[in-house]
């Protein structure tokens, strides 16, 4: 019986099984290999995916936002969402939609330190995973541009095979990206820019290292869930 179960798993890291319905939302020009369905914000504007078109093949392709998807509740066994949520206008809506259309899934985003180093202009959120909570902090103006002066230095290093292999290694990828594998539901918190403003008194750090504003958002989310 164990051998049969192992053979059914086609993607061991994410636990995807043969025959499952898998959505890649925000698929871009290089979709997830195990996706059975693809979705992207635009099928004609390729500027946000390095000029690569969404490959139109045998898989169904949908033009939609992750914040509002045209799918039934629980339609997909697995939803893959990689390097998408840092772009959205409303992370709360996007997270709710992922949990609505999928039974389980995988989220990947640049960690906040990576975002500050590169500061991609179309990334609106600093994302971290803190105490099991997916935290979105809206970027401040001082975090835009290239505040550390390292962006182009790292780009030049990526031209070197040795550094590129190190940068793309599994260990380094875990350091530079948030990787959340979820089932059923996950907890998230959104901290808007006005809550992070330097003009406001900085809230104390709560036990476990998550600031009170984040803890409050999480608590409110759990209360709503229990209601």
Domains and CATH numbers, the chain: 2-226 (3.40.50)
For 108-152, write each residue's pLDDT tens digit. 999 999 988 887 888 999 999 999 999 999 999 888 888 888 888
- Separation of alpha carbons 174 and 30, rounded Å: 20
Q: Which is nearest to 178 in space by CA: 123, 128, 125?
A: 128
Return the residue matching tokens 């948030």.
178
pLDDT on residue 118: 81
Do 69 and 101 meet the contact criterion of CB atoms below 8 Å apart?
Answer: yes
Do 28 and 52 meet the contact criterion of CB atoms below 8 Å apart?
Answer: yes
Q: Is the pTM of this model over 0.85?
A: no
Average pLDDT over the chain reads: 84
Rounded to 5 degrees, what are φ and ψ at 170?
-55, -40
Beta sheet of 104-110, edge-to-edge order: 61-63, 37-40, 22-25, 78-82, 104-110, 177-183
End-to-end Cα distance, the chain: 41
For 55-68, write each residue's pLDDT tens digit. 888 999 999 999 99
């Amino acid at each position: 019986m164990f051998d049969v179960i192992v053979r059914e798993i086609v993607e061991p890291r994410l636990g995807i099984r043969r025959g499952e319905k898998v959505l890649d939302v925000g698929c871009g020009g290089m979709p997830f290999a195990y996706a059975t369905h693809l979705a992207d914000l635009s099928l004609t504007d390729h500027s946000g995916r390095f000029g690569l078109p969404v490959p139109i093949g045998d898989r169904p392709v949908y033009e939609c936002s992750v914040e509002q998807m045209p799918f039934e509740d629980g339609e997909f066994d697995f939803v893959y969402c990689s390097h998408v949520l840092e772009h959205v206008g409303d992370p709360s809506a996007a997270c709710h939609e992922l949990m609505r259309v999928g039974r389980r899934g995988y989220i990947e985003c640049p960690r906040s330190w990576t975002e500050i180093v590169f500061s991609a202009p179309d990334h609106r959120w600093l994302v971290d995973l803190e105490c099991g909570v997916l935290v979105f902090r809206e970027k401040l103006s001082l975090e835009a541009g290239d505040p550390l002066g390292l962006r182009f230095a790292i780009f030049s290093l990526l031209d070197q095979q040795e550094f590129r292999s190190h940068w793309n290694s599994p260990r380094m990828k875990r350091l530079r990206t948030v990787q959340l594998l979820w089932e059923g539901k996950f907890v998230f918190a959104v901290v808007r820019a006005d809550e992070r403003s330097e003009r406001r008194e900085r809230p104390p750090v709560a036990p476990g290292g998550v600031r009170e504003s984040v803890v409050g958002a999480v608590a409110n989310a759990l209360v709503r869930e229990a209601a």
